[in-house]
Amino acid sequence: MTYRYPNGKIYSPAEKERAPAARKSNSIYSNRGMTLEEDLNETNQFYLNRGIAVVHKKPTPVQIVNVDYPRRSAAVIKEAYFKQSSTTDYNGIYKGRYLDFEAKETKNASSFPLQNFHGHQISHMKQVLDQDGICFVILSAFGNIYLLPANHLIGYWNRRESGGRKSITKLEIEENGFRIPLGLHPRIDYIKVLDALYFN
């Protein structure tokens, strides 16, 4: 079966096998072979197992374009494309409030490029905030993990759309984001930040 990314490039399992080596340059994940996504999935499972919160990663939508039917009961997908996600990476519920967030990484040492986000994701975040949901971004940047509330991200996006800088500075993330120390159980305890921001 052939999978294709939204840009048409063919997905190769070999690329996935090479990914851990490429990740090792990120100081947070060096010598661990973990990614931000894996740590968040582990964190969310920890929350779920202990009845703290219900948060899941949204599956990447796939468009099937070629199916082989050797027999009626055994359809085989021969070709499919990864579609661009229309919203964010994770959603769920905590203490009766809807949670919605995106997770992003950068190796840039001085800023976080806004090209890592898409306009439809920003629109989705605005809609979540309009419904009084809790929306944010978890950023792996500058050797740390930060929780940046969506209203700040939207402000930086609007600045870019008005002809301003195309990235968020390190200082802006440090001033408006909340650093989350890496732990053991859970790995990225973002609920502590949400408690301080929304449930005091």
* pLDDT tens digits, one per residue of 110-143: 999 999 999 999 999 999 999 999 999 999 999 9
Q: How far apart (Å, rounded) are the C-alpha atoms in residues 181 and 54?
A: 21
Asked whether the whole model's pTM tops 0.85, one would answer no
CB-CB contact of 82 with 62 (8 Å):
yes
With bands split at pLDDT 50, 70 and 90, how would you rate the model's confidence at 4? low
170 within a domain of the structure (yes/no): yes
20 within a domain of the structure (yes/no): no
Residues in contact with 195: Cβ distance below 8 Å, sequence separation at least 6, in sequence order = none
152 within a domain of the structure (yes/no): yes
Residues forming a β-bridge with 97: 94
pLDDT reading at 67 higher than 70? yes
Q: Residue 92 maps to which CATH number? A: 3.40.1350.10
Phi first, then psi: give them for residue 15, nearest 5 degrees: -60, -40
User: What pLDDT, on the 0 to 100 scale, is given for residue 20?
Assistant: 41
* pLDDT tens digits, one per residue of 166-181: 999 999 999 999 999 9
71 within a domain of the structure (yes/no): no
CB-CB contact of 107 with 70 (8 Å):
no
The percent of residues above 90 in pLDDT, for the chain, comes to 66
User: What pLDDT, on the 0 to 100 scale, is given for residue 9?
Assistant: 64
168 within a domain of the structure (yes/no): yes
| 3-state secondary structure string across the chain | CEEECCCCCECCHHHHHHHHHHHCCCCCCCCCCCCHHHHHHHHHHHHHHCCCCEEEECCCCEEEEEEECCCCCCCEEEEEEECCCCCCCEEEEECCEEEEEEEEECCCCCEEEHHHCCHHHHHHHHHHHHCCCEEEEEEEECCEEEEEEHHHHHHHHHHHHCCCCCEEEHHHHHHHCEECCECCCCCECHHHHHHHHHCC
136 within a domain of the structure (yes/no): yes
Tally of domains in the chain: 1
Mean pLDDT of 49-60: 92
Q: What is the mean pLDDT of the chain?
A: 85
CB-CB contact of 133 with 100 (8 Å):
yes
User: What pLDDT, on the 0 to 100 scale, is given for residue 15?
Assistant: 47
120 within a domain of the structure (yes/no): yes
79 within a domain of the structure (yes/no): no
Least confident range from 35-39, 66-70, 88-92: namely: 66-70
Domain carrying residue 158: 33-59+85-198
